[in-house]
Amino acid sequence: MKIVLGVCGFGLGHSARQRPIVEGLLARGHDVILVTNDQSYDFFTLHLPQVRNARVYVPVIHTTPHGLDFSATATDPRNVQGEAHSAFWNACGLIERHFGKPDLVISDYDMVSAQIAYLFGVPLVTFDQQSKFLGYECPTIDGYTPDEHRMRLRYFFPKARARVATSFFTVDYPPVDEYPVTIIPPSIGRDVKDLLPEPVDGHVTVYISAASHIAQSVDELLELFGQFTDHRFTCFVDADATSVPDNVTLKANSRADFIESLRRSAAVISTAGHNLITEALYLNVPMFLLPFDHYEQQLNARIITDTGLGAAAATLTSADLGVFFDNLDTYRQQRRETTLIYNEFDGDTAFLDLVESLLRDLEGRK
């Protein structure tokens, strides 16, 4: 079957999750064209260069704790990109030349691929972590509501044949009948699933996303890490530092280097992205989370702290970090005992099976 797969390019989490999906679709005999932007374009160009990859441009949507910030979105200079319109039509032309018409479009929070599905009049399946906020009555967290995600999802994907959400935690909130969403376990890439954790005492991985807007600067964080001389911090950050303590190593964001560091870590300090949390849970690495100033990461951090698997705060202090390091064994033990976090990481297989069932149904209707 001819499948278009769109992947959000803000951060690497969406790309890492979709790599096993692309590989699984190819292994099952399907033809795939990717629609990517920003970091997802770079990721798949590097890791799956044999797959056709149409680069597109998407708007940067700004948020408030309770919805979207229309003024900031309108004035963001990144939203005035002359290439956006031509890139969209070039992507459509690539698809038409190779597919004529696709059989199915899958979107991981990518609005352009959804527009392509509507344009060609083919079924759209959304597969992301955010759709659970549309399909379930998720709670308000410290004044943050899921409305920002609901607004995005209704705007980006008003119509879908199926909506699928992956989740590292069990979702027991009341469902929203208007937007049925299927929840599946988390998915991780083979580059993580094939690894065995070998934690080294005192080794800490730090990841600060390029899209991060945490309260502290890199210099402030590094100065804080320098106080913990019995720990070594491997920091993946996209920023320069004025001074680097002796117990800190700065590294460029490399997927292979990050995963190797994470599997050897006694702890990880990071923003609260879904994919990184999933990988840390798989490798049983306790987390200190610095969530973004928006709903999804606030909820992710709350789930981790409520289940006793780590700590979270708006800013990192010496006192909080010391308490966190003192409780690492407790977090690891709680990871083995909690029933609120998935222990299966086969979301890729579950999703691929769902896609096969849908494709058989579509084929039967022809």
pLDDT in tens, 255-309: 899 999 999 999 999 999 999 999 999 999 999 999 998 899 999 999 999 999 9
Phi and psi torsions of 59, nearest 5° = -70, 150
pLDDT at 239 over 80: no
Spell out where 134-229 has E strands.
162-166, 182-184, 203-208
Other Cβ atoms closer than 10 A to 123? 18
Quote the pTM value: 0.91
Contacts for 214 with CB less than 8 Å, ≥ 6 apart: 208, 271, 290, 292, 314, 315
CA 365 to chain centre: 34
174-220 pLDDT, tens digit per residue, is 999 999 999 999 998 888 988 999 999 999 999 987 556 678 888 99
**pLDDT 10s digits, 25-61:** 999 999 999 999 999 999 999 999 999 999 999 988 8
The stretch 63-76 carries a mean pLDDT of: 90
With cut-offs at 50, 70 and 90, classify the pLDDT of residue 12: confident
Which of 284, 279, 266 is CA-nearest to residue 345?
279
Amino acid (one-letter) located at 357:
S
Q: Do domains 2-187+346-364 and 191-337 have the same CATH topology?
A: yes
In angstroms, what CA-CA distances link 71 with 59, 75, 196? 13, 6, 47
Q: How far is CA 260 from CA 16, 144, 309, in A?
A: 15, 34, 21
Task: Give the list of residues 6+ apart from residue 333 with CB closer than 8 angstroms, or none.
Answer: none
**99 to each of 22, 96, 114, how far by Cα in Å?**
17, 5, 17
- The predicted structure's pLDDT at residue 213: 67
Q: How many CB atoms are located within 10 Å of the residue 47 CB? A: 16
Mean pLDDT within 161-168:
97
Q: Would you identify the CATH topology of the domain 2-187+346-364?
A: Rossmann fold (3.40.50)
Mean pLDDT estimate for the chain: 94
SS3 content of the chain, % helix, strand, coil (to 5): 40, 20, 40
Nearest to 19 by CA among 29, 31, 5, 30: 5
**According to the model, what pLDDT value does residue 210 have?**
58
Please tell me which residue, 191 or 326, carries the higher pLDDT value.
326
Query: What pLDDT sits at residue 315?
Result: 94
% of the chain residues with pLDDT over 70: 98
- Tell me how far apart the alpha carbons of residues 145 and 1 are, in angstroms, rounded to a whole number: 39
pLDDT at 211: 58
The CATH architecture annotation of domain 191-337 reads: 3-Layer(aba) Sandwich (3.40)
Domain ranges for the chain: 2-187+346-364, 191-337
